[in-house]
Amino acid sequence: MSPTGIFLYEIDKSFGPNIIAEYYLKDIKVPQDVLKGFIEKHVEKELVDATIKKDDLRYYSSKINAQSIEKENLYLGFILSENEDLLSLKSVFENSEVKIIQNYSDNRKNLTFLLKDIINSILSLLEKLKEPKLIIDTINEKTKKMLDEGRLKDARELIELGEKIPLKLAQEIKLADQFFKQGDYKKAKKNFEKSAELAALIQETEIVSFLLNKGEKIGNFPELLKERDNYLKDIKKSFSELSVSGQLKKFYEELLPIIERIVYISNLVGDESITDIFTRLRDNTKEAFTLASKLHEVHENLKLLSTKI
C-alpha cells in the first residue's frame, strides 16, 4: 500500500484550515473533521507531526518550515492506509516538503501539478523497493542511454551490476525491516546502510537517500527511548517527593521542558498513546505553573503586608 492522497493547506487561527491544493488517486478527500483535528494537534498541542485515524484510513500531517517563502502556517498532509509503515514514509515526506518550498507558487493549478508529481515520485520509489524488476527496468533504460552516448565501458559495468544487485538490494531491505520490527535497531540501521551502498552502485540516488534517512532515524531509537525512560523515572520520582512548600512554581517550571522532550520523542518514534498522555500532562502542567505563579505572587504580597502589621 502507498499514499492515496496529498493535500497542502494553511491553518488560520481565526478562520481555521484552508486547503491550497490537493491531489487524490482515489475518490477520497480529506474530511473537514480531520482538518479540525489537525488544528487541535498542530496549534493547541503544538505538534509538528500529527496523525488521525478514521474509517480504516490514517491521515498524516506535518508542519512545513516555510520561513524562506514567508509562510508561517503551511502544512502538508497525506492519506494512507491504517497499517501503513509511517516511519518509512516520513523520510520521503520530508523530501516532499523540500520540493514544495523550492517550487512553491501562488498559482493553484501549478501547485496541484507539483503535488501530483510528488505523489507519483513516492509511488515509483516505494514500488521499486518492493519489486526488483522495476529497478532492473530502470537499469536497462540507463544502459541504453549510455550505449547511445558511446559509453560502452560504463554500460557494460552497469549491466553486470544489474544482474545481481536489484535482488540482493531487496533482500537486504527485507532483512533490515525484520530487524526493525524485532526491535534490534542497531542491526536494522546497519542493514539499511548496506542497502544504501548497493543502491549507490546502480546509481539509484533517490533510493540511497531514502535508505540512509530511514537508517539514521532508526539508529537513534535506542538513545531516544533510553532518554525518554530516564525522564519518565525522574517525573514519577518528582511527583512522589513533591511537597506543598512554596516550591510549586519552580517544580512546574523545571518539569515543562522535560515533558516537552518526552512529547517530541514519543511523536518521533510514533508512540501515539504516550504522545497523547504527555500532551495532556504538558497542558495541565502549564496551567498549574500559571496558578502556582499566581499563588507565589499572592504569597509574596501577604509577606509584604505582614511586615506592616
Q: What is the mean pLDDT of residues 140-164?
A: 85
Whether the predicted pLDDT of 303 surpasses 90: no
Over residues 204-237, the pLDDT tens digits come to: 888 888 889 889 888 888 898 899 999 888 877 7
Whether the predicted pLDDT of 306 surpasses 70: no
Q: 210 φ, ψ to 5°? A: -60, -50
Q: How confident is the model at residue 28 (pLDDT cuts 50, 70, 90)?
A: confident
Whether the predicted pLDDT of 272 surpasses 80: yes
Whether the predicted pLDDT of 242 surpasses 70: no
Over residues 252-262, the pLDDT tens digits come to: 888 999 999 99
Whether the predicted pLDDT of 239 surpasses 70: no
Over residues 71-109, the pLDDT tens digits come to: 888 999 999 886 767 777 777 788 888 889 999 988 999
Grid cell listed for 24: 487524490
Distances (CA, A) of 180 to 6, 9, 20, 131, 174: 27, 33, 36, 20, 10
Task: Please give the residue range of the domain that contains residue 14.
Answer: 5-124
pTM score of the predicted model: 0.67
Q: How confident is the model at residue 245 (pLDDT cuts 50, 70, 90)?
A: very low
Grid cell listed for 100: 514544495
Which of 124, 144, 170 terminates a domain? The answer is 124
| 170 and 106 housed in the same domain | no
Which of 188, 219, 250 terminates a domain? The answer is 219
| 14 and 104 housed in the same domain | yes
In sequence order, the β-bridge partners of residue 151 are none
Which of 163, 191, 219 terminates a domain? The answer is 219
- Report the 10 Å Cβ neighbour count for 100: 23
| 149 and 248 housed in the same domain | no
pLDDT of residue 305: 67
- Whether the Cβ atoms of residue 92 and residue 2 lie closer than 8 Å to each other: no
